[in-house]
């Protein structure tokens, strides 16, 4: 009997663990989703689960009266809601083909033009070799006609903005020049013969080779900077997803209020009509079992969303209480803060803190920042100075230098030391590279 009791306990424990595992995984998944991805996740959950109802989100969901509640039947109108959303911008291939005068293009050339347009990369460059394009044409049943390929490339290179279809950076820029430009010859020569030397800032040598004064060379380089090395991005519909800050830091009479904004998320609830059907013994057993499973899954989703909100709220409150100097004084006043410290204080696992802040943004009186921005390691030999603040001091030193005599890394170390910031030369070099600042040789202005 004792063995039987132990066996039953083991089976019950294993069953409970197996039941909890999907729920734990769902909570972890929901916790780490950024706001826009969570919105898509919840809309998908509504479509997949007939027991969930939808409240259409609105700006009043954060404060003020609650929005109208939808019914079980109204949740089926989610497809119509999606159809009313604005269409995304057309892709590059579609935008290029949409410009072409198909009536003036010989019929047998059309598939070649489509092949070339479909081979453009996101920048609008035709980086695929002619050999590979001819292989692709053969695979598509077009044969291997190098003449047709050349004519198709010329057709694509005629679209706007100019530069699309260039085989490399130089050709992309050359296509944007006009032969009628009085500087056309010298600009072409700069691109074709001296682009590498210009990139290395060897301007005196380039000027001597071209028989130009430095001022005239700088004028021509200014003309080249007006060209677009990635013209296709203007047509490709590539855009960064909008930033939707979930953590709102609002000043109040004394201190700050930390709010979690879920106004963009669909508000979910259990459809009571479905819940009654699941309890109705007049329904078939398999129907009631199916509905009970869906109800349990719906409650898991709702619990995971609420747990995500509570966890994010707790972390945000702790973070901005710690970063009060930043809220009062602004950038340059961050305090060092590690995720391990937050996890220990809030009795959370550090991975939970990491997932909670991943992809989340905070709107503060000084602008909108990734929530991870407020987790900073100490730097500059001062445990009270955040790494990002030291980077900002380094950036300012470089920004204030004389461009005709740019500072070396050693000179920056000395300038920082005079300001009370002690950094090693290798640390200055690392920050300079992170800030995208080239070496002193390349920064020099002639």
Length of the chain: 446
pLDDT classification of 83: cutoffs 50, 70, 90 = very low
Tokens of 9: 């306990």
Q: Which of 17-21, 49-53, 272-276, 302-306 has the highest mean pLDDT?
A: 302-306
| Residue 210 domain-assigned (yes or no) | yes
Quote the tokens at residue 335. Answer: 């305090």
Same domain for 222 and 339? no
Residue 399 in any domain: the answer is yes
* pLDDT tens digits for range 326-372: 899 887 778 888 888 899 999 999 888 988 988 899 999 988 888 98
Are the beta carbons of 262 and 58 closer than 8 angstroms? no
Please tell me whether residues 336 and 421 are part of one structural domain.
yes
Asked if residue 223 is part of any domain, the answer here is yes
β strands within 243-366, DSSP E: 247-251, 256-260, 267-270, 361-364
Q: How much is the pTM? A: 0.51
| Number of Cβ atoms within 10 Å of the Cβ of 302 | 17
Residue 67 is predicted with a pLDDT of 33
* 100 and 215 part of one domain: yes
Distance (Å, whole) CA 392 – CA 108: 59
Task: Give the integer Cα–Cα distance in Å for 65 and 325.
Answer: 35
For the record, the structure tokens of 417 come out as 């030391």
365 within domain boundaries: yes
For the chain, what is the mean pLDDT?
Answer: 79
% residues pLDDT > 70 (the chain): 81
310/182 same-domain check: no
pLDDT in tens, 359-406: 899 999 988 888 988 887 654 444 445 556 677 777 788 788 788 888
**391-394 long-range contacts, CB within 8 A, separation 24+:** 391/431, 391/434, 391/435, 392/331, 392/332, 393/419, 393/421, 394/423, 394/428, 394/431, 394/432, 394/435
Specify the pLDDT at position 259. 93
Q: Do 251 and 229 fall within a single domain?
A: no
Q: Which residue has the higher pLDDT, 9 or 289?
A: 289
Q: Can you name the residues that pair with 257 across neighbouring β-strands? A: 250
Residue 35 has pLDDT above 80, yes or no: yes
251 and 139 co-located in one domain: no
Average pLDDT of span 429-442: 75
Instruction: Give the whole-angstrom CA distance, residue 286 versus residue 231.
Output: 59
Query: Is residue 230 in a domain?
Result: yes
Task: For 360-374, give the DSSP string.
Answer: -EEEETTEEEEGGGG
Which residue pairs from 215-218 have beta carbons closer than 8 angstroms and sit at least 24 positions apart in sequence? 218/446
Q: Is 299 exposed, middle or buried (0-12, 13-18, 19+ CB in 10 A)?
A: middle
Beta bridge pairs of residue 146 = none
In a domain, 436, yes or no: yes
Q: What pLDDT sits at residue 346? A: 93
Tell me the C-alpha distance between 379 and 389, whole Å: 9
Q: What is the pLDDT of residue 320?
A: 94
- Is 309 or 32 the better-scoring residue by pLDDT? 309
- Kindly report, residue by residue over 316-331, the tens digit of the pLDDT: 999 999 999 889 988 7
- How far apart CA 428 and CA 407 sit, in angstroms, is 12
Q: CATH no. for residue 426?
A: 1.10.10.60
Question: Has residue 216 been placed in a domain?
Answer: yes
Q: For residues 133 and 119, what is the distance between their CA atoms, to the nearest angstrom?
A: 8
- The domain of 251 spans 247-257+306-443
Number of domains in the chain: 2
**Is 106 found in the same domain as 208?**
yes
Band the pLDDT of 237: cuts 50, 70, 90.
Answer: low
Same domain, 205 and 252: no
Residue-wise burial string across 251-277, b where 16 or more C-beta atoms lie within 10 A, e elsewhere: eeeeebebbbbbbbbbbbebbeebeeb
Lowest mean pLDDT among 148-152, 159-163, 262-266, 360-364: 262-266
pLDDT at 445: 75
Same domain, residue pair 175 and 198: yes
pLDDT of 93 above 50: yes
Please tell me whether residues 402 and 253 are part of one structural domain. yes
Residue 161, preceding bond cis, omega within 30 degrees? Answer: yes
Across 187-201, average pLDDT: 87
Same domain, 203 and 318: no
The whole-number pLDDT of residue 380 equals 47
Any bridge partners for residue 363, and if so which?
Answer: 248, 368
Domain assignment present for 425: yes
| Same domain? 217 vs 251 | no
Residue in the structure block whose two tokens are 């390349």: 442
pLDDT for 65: 34
């Amino acid at each position: 009997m004792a063995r039987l009791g132990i066996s039953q306990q083991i089976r019950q424990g294993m069953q409970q663990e197996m039941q909890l595992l999907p729920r734990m995984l769902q909570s972890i998944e929901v916790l780490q989703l950024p706001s826009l991805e969570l919105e898509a996740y919840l809309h998908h959950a509504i479509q997949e689960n007939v027991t969930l109802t939808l409240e259409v989100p609105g700006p009043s969901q954060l404060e003020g009266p609650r929005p109208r509640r939808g019914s079980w039947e109204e949740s089926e109108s989610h497809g119509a809601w999606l159809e009313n959303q604005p269409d995304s911008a057309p892709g590059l291939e579609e935008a290029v083909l949409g410009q072409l005068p198909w009536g003036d293009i010989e019929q047998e050339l059309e598939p070649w033009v489509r092949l070339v347009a479909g081979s453009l990369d996101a920048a609008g460059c035709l980086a695929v070799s002619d050999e590979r394009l001819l292989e692709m044409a053969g695979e598509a049943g077009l044969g291997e006609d190098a003449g047709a390929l050349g004519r198709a490339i010329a057709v694509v290179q005629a679209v706007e903005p100019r530069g699309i279809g260039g085989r490399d950076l130089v050709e992309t820029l050359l296509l944007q020049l006009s032969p009628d430009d009085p500087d056309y010859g010298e600009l072409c020569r700069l691109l074709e013969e001296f682009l590498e030397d210009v990139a290395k800032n060897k301007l005196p040598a380039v000027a001597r080779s071209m028989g130009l004064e430095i001022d005239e060379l700088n004028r021509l380089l200014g003309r080249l900077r007006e060209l677009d090395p990635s013209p296709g991005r203007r047509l490709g519909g590539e855009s960064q997803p909008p930033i939707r800050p979930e953590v709102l830091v609002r000043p109040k009479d004394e201190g700050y209020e930390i709010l979690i904004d879920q106004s963009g998320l669909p508000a979910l609830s259990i459809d009571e009509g479905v819940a009654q059907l699941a309890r109705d013994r007049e329904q078939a057993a398999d129907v009631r079992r199916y509905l009970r499973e869906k109800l349990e899954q719906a409650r898991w989703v709702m619990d995971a969303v609420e747990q995500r909100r509570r966890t994010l709220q707790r972390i945000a409150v702790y973070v901005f209480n710690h970063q009060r100097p930043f809220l009062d004084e602004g950038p340059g006043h961050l305090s060092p803060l590690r995720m391990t410290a937050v996890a220990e204080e809030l009795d959370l696992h550090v991975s939970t803190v990491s997932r909670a802040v991943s992809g989340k943004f905070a709107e503060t009186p000084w602008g909108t920042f990734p929530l991870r921005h407020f987790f900073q390691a100490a730097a500059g030999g001062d445990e009270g100075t955040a790494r990002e603040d030291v980077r900002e001091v380094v950036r300012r030193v470089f920004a204030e230098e004389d461009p005709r005599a740019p500072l070396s890394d050693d000179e920056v170390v000395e300038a920082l030391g005079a300001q009370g910031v002690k950094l090693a030369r290798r640390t200055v070099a690392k920050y300079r590279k992170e800030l995208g600042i080239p070496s002193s040789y390349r920064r020099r202005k002639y």
